Amino acid sequence: MNEGKKDLSDWITTINREIIYTIIGLAVIIPILLGIKEKVQISPAVKSAYESIESLNSTDVILISIDYDPASMPELQPMLKAILRHAFGKEIKVIMMVFWPLGLPIGTEGLEEVAGEFGKVYGEDYINLGYRPGDRAVMIDMGREIRNFFRTDVNDVLLDTYPMMRDIHNYNDIALIVGLEAGRWGEYWIQYVGSRYKQRIILGVTGVMAAETYPYLHSGQIEGLIGGLKGAAEYETLIGRPGFGLTGMAAQSWAHIAIIVFIIIGNIGYFMTRRKERRFRIEGRKE
């Protein structure tokens, strides 16, 4: 029966897992190193988010809330940078605040990077309020006066020191809120700020949160929704500034293709092994 002789099914079913991990790793790394971009189709939800910012002018101010940490950074950080590039490109002023402590260095890095690209001046074109605990209480009281919770910025300098902030006191002075969310804080913005103060809101969320966030979009409680890495890639496409979103989508697609190929190979190996075992049983009975 030549049981000692290995055939294709034996090779398939004994592929070393290190080989699989290496191939998956290369599928992720190569598109990123080569800067390969993937074309994406623009969804109505992302187009609505884009149009919300596109409708603003140079006298307007947007508030960006960083409500994520390093675990969600690969999906949400590309959104932050794309939105900042869109806003700064239209001369819109930006206020950034943080409800997740670990989000502060991430948000600050993205804000400073993009501000540097556009030559923006801190205190005149953008402000970083930093982190404050208390989320819902902060959201509500900011509707009365931002300085009730943020008397100083992230550098511990009084807000009124900066020209940009002298006429900004509450949501009446903010044209749009952008919540970048890895948790329930997007719902808090909708419930405590959107409903109470009739504030315009768009949300960027992780891929797993997108489905449960769509009802807020369909009900008109938010104006736009950017979902996951694909949403970030779509936004980059709309502003004509490719970034990690489009590169990440290519890496993700390559990895998915590699996984599918291994699944197919595994199934082929399984059926070949079953067929060989059946043949051995038949030959054994004949002997």
| All structural domains of the chain with their residue ranges | 8-36+250-286, 44-242
Cβ atoms of 97 and 66 closer than 8 Å: yes
CATH class of 44-242: alpha beta
Nearest-angstrom CA–CA distance, 104 and 96:
10
Q: What string of pLDDT tens digits covers the 287 residues of the chain?
A: 455 556 666 677 677 778 777 887 887 787 777 777 777 789 999 999 999 999 999 999 999 999 999 999 989 999 999 999 999 999 999 999 999 999 999 999 999 999 999 999 999 999 999 999 888 999 999 999 999 999 999 999 999 999 999 999 999 999 999 999 998 899 999 999 998 999 999 999 998 999 999 999 999 999 999 998 889 999 999 999 887 777 766 667 777 787 888 788 778 777 777 777 777 776 666 55
- The strands making up 126-131's β-sheet, listed across from edge to edge, are 126-131, 93-98, 61-67, 176-181, 201-205, 224-227
Structure tokens at 140: 């509500």
Backbone angles phi, psi at 2, to 5 degrees: 55, 45
C-beta atoms surrounding 145 within 10 Å: 12
Find the helix or strand (DSSP H, E) in which 17 lies: helix 17-34
Backbone CA torsion sign across 230, 232, 235, 239: negative
| Angstrom distance (rounded) from CA 204 to CA 250 | 20
Model pLDDT for residues 112-134, shown as the tens digit of each residue = 999 999 999 999 999 999 999 88
**Beta-strand runs (E) in 113-246:** 126-131, 176-181, 201-205, 224-227
State pLDDT tens for residues 144-200: 999 999 999 999 999 999 999 999 999 999 999 999 999 889 999 999 999 899 999
Distance CA 94, CA 264 (A): 49
**pLDDT score at 78:** 94
Q: Reduce the DSSP state of residue 270 to 3 states and report it.
A: helix
